[in-house]
């Protein structure tokens, strides 16, 4: 499977992704997402899910005109992204 381009997904696609990985999901799903079973691979999957949820929330905030809240969620996304291993960035 591999890591999808989360920045290209719609709000609903991001939430579907988050639902799959919010509670770490099945280990096999996490392995397929990350590409291997390295130490912390389930946490990497969970962090990608958190990125997706925050991105979807930022999109929703922007849609409703709440720019300051959107910027806060986007900052959370940036922080999560910067902490991902380089080969897991999208």
Q: Is residue 90 part of a domain?
A: no
pLDDT greater than 90 at residue 21 = no
pLDDT at 40: 95
Residue span of the structural domain in which 30 resides: 10-82
The pLDDT of 9-34, averaged and rounded, is 89
Q: Is residue 56 part of a domain?
A: yes
Instruction: Tell me the per-residue pLDDT of 38-58, one tens digit each, with 9 for 90 and over.
Output: 999 999 999 999 999 999 999
DSSP 40: T
Q: Is residue 46 part of a domain?
A: yes
Cα distance between the two ends of the chain: 13
Q: Is residue 21 part of a domain?
A: yes
pLDDT at 53: 97
Q: Is residue 58 part of a domain?
A: yes
pLDDT greater than 80 at residue 1 = no
Q: Is residue 2 part of a domain?
A: no
% of the chain with per-residue pLDDT over 70: 96
pLDDT band of residue 24 (cuts 50, 70, 90) is low
pLDDT at 51: 98
* Cβ neighbour number for residue 32 with a 10 Å cutoff: 15
* Cβ neighbour number for residue 80 with a 10 Å cutoff: 18
Beta carbons within 8 Å of 83's beta carbon, 6+ residues apart: 47
Q: Is residue 57 part of a domain?
A: yes
Contact 21, 49 (CB under 8 A): yes
Contact 21, 45 (CB under 8 A): yes
pLDDT greater than 80 at residue 25 = no
Total domains in the chain come to 1
């Amino acid at each position: 499977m591999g890591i999808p381009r989360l920045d290209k997904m719609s709000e609903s696609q991001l939430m579907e992704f988050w639902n799959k990985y919010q509670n770490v999901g099945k280990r096999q799903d996490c392995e397929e997402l990350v590409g291997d079973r390295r130490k912390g691979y389930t946490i990497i999957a969970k962090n990608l899910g958190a990125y997706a949820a925050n991105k979807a929330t930022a999109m929703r905030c922007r849609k409703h005109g709440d720019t300051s809240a959107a910027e806060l969620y986007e900052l959370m996304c940036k922080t999560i992204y910067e902490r991902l291993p380089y080969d897991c960035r999208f």
